[in-house]
Amino acid sequence: MLRHLSSTHDRFALNAPFRISRGVKTAADVVTVRIRDGAHVGRGEGVPYPRYGETIDGALAQIAAVAPLVDGGASRAEIAAAMPAGAARNAVDTALWDLEARIAGTDVATLAGIAPAAPLASAITIAIDTPDAMAAAAARHAPVPLLKIKVNREDAVAQIAAVRGAAPAPRLIVDPNESWTIAEVTGLAPFLRDQRVDLLEQPLPAGEDGALAEIASDIAICADESLHTRADLAALRGRYSHVNVKLDKTGGLTEALALADDAVARGFGLMVGCMVCSSLGIAPALLLAGRAAFVDLDGPLWLAQDRDGGVTDRTGILHPPAPGFWGGA
């Protein structure tokens, strides 16, 4: 039987509104790719992100355009050459990894020559709300190892102080999602140190982050929106200490693995992150997470109902999906 690719738009309602500095969402809209080859089916997921000019319809169109290549047996390298980095390529690439492993009777970790996914500490995200509401959310998660606080410009100090007051023990990531200026970065540095913030994620808009090279920060600063693929790394030297690898930005696990290797070779620390997605989007990212200093893969925890057999969280420790969920044996 010949290969056959199919793709769908799937929507997962959230269990609470997810607010960041750019807006709020109440559902996760994803594209799901299935590639059948005889008795074997490989699956992959991508989350088109409006910040990068992506839409569900646009992603489905990109996938449909390469379907004849995939059906004809194209490799992951050939798909990478035929598609731009982004959510659509992520869905196809990770479906191909899954399919290859199932056909080979092994798992993706073995095929890639890397360690298998294992339970690890992953950030629990506190979305933007009133300081009191954020404190209440933080109090519910006070025992976890790592919290990530979404903030804006207007209430950042109150938001961070509220979370830290309610959860004194966890490590902290603060994520302004490009909403700060360099004045905030420098002016808030003493406060961030006092609050024991471990990582500041993408404080300035991508394309306007050159000012970071002019300051000395004793708090680690991580590139998110400023980093997509290996081609971006050279420009980030001197601006960031860490880089956030997301498969929906790299366009799949293939480029994410190469990006992680290149970033480490250039002296960057690694963070592995995600969009708000189902466990099908998290399973491939877990193969990178063991190498990262910071892991932020709680996307499925925001869903009212995840895919069956997905990841589970136990007090801030994320456990991989059930055997056979993704990645072969």
The pLDDT confidence band at residue 1, using thresholds 50, 70 and 90, is: low
Q: Do 200 and 288 share a domain, yes or no? A: yes
User: Per-residue pLDDT for 105 more than 90?
Assistant: yes
Q: Do 28 and 172 share a domain, yes or no? A: no
Query: What's the rounded mean pLDDT across residues 248-256?
Result: 98
Q: Do 37 and 156 share a domain, yes or no? A: no
Confirm whether 243 is domain-assigned. yes
Q: Do 238 and 294 share a domain, yes or no? A: yes
Q: Do 140 and 81 share a domain, yes or no? A: no
> Which residues on adjacent β-strands are paired with residue 86?
none
Tell me if residue 131 falls in helix, strand or coil. helix
For 280, which DSSP code?
Answer: H
Res 21: pLDDT = 77
Catalytic residues: 150, 246
How many structural domains does the chain have?
Answer: 2
Q: Could you tell me which of 80, 82, 28 has the C-alpha nearest to residue 56? A: 28
Instruction: Give 152-195 pLDDT, tens digit per residue.
Output: 988 999 999 999 999 999 999 999 999 999 999 999 999 999 99
Tell me the C-alpha distance between 274 and 64, whole Å: 24
Q: Do 87 and 124 share a domain, yes or no? A: no
Res 235: pLDDT = 96
Residue that is last in its domain, among 89, 110, 131: 110
Q: Do 222 and 302 share a domain, yes or no? A: yes
Confirm whether 324 is domain-assigned. no
Residue that is last in its domain, among 110, 131, 163: 110
Confirm whether 147 is domain-assigned. yes
Does the pTM surpass 0.85? The reply is: yes
Q: Do 305 and 254 share a domain, yes or no? A: yes
Tell me the C-alpha distance between 177 and 260, whole Å: 22
Residue that is last in its domain, among 76, 110, 144: 110
**Residue 177 sits in a domain of what CATH number?**
3.20.20.120
Confirm whether 45 is domain-assigned. yes
Query: What's the rounded mean pLDDT across residues 45-69?
Result: 97
Query: Which domain, by its residues, includes 76?
Result: 4-110
Pairing outcome for strands 120-121 and 317-319: antiparallel
Q: Do 35 and 146 share a domain, yes or no? A: no
Q: Do 190 and 288 share a domain, yes or no? A: yes
Helix 156-166, helix 131-140: angle, nearest 10: 30
Confirm whether 328 is domain-assigned. no
Confirm whether 160 is domain-assigned. yes
Q: Do 172 and 207 share a domain, yes or no? A: yes
User: Per-residue pLDDT for 239 more than 80?
Assistant: yes
Average pLDDT of every residue of the chain: 97
**Residue 56 sits in a domain of what CATH number?**
3.30.390.10
Q: What is the 3-state secondary structure (H, E, C) of 7-55?
A: EEEEEEEEEEEEEECCEEEEEEEEEEEEEEECCEEEEEEECCCHHHCCC
Confirm whether 327 is domain-assigned. no
Strand boundaries in the chain, DSSP class E = 4-20, 23-37, 40-46, 120-121, 124-126, 146-150, 171-175, 199-201, 220-223, 242-245, 269-272, 294-295, 312-314, 317-319
Tell me the C-alpha distance between 281 and 98, whole Å: 12
Q: Do 234 and 131 share a domain, yes or no? A: yes
Confirm whether 326 is domain-assigned. no
Sheet with strand 40-46: strands edge to edge: 4-20, 23-37, 40-46
In this structure, the dihedral spanned by the alpha carbons of residues 248, 29, 48 and 303, taken in order and rounded to 10 degrees, is -30
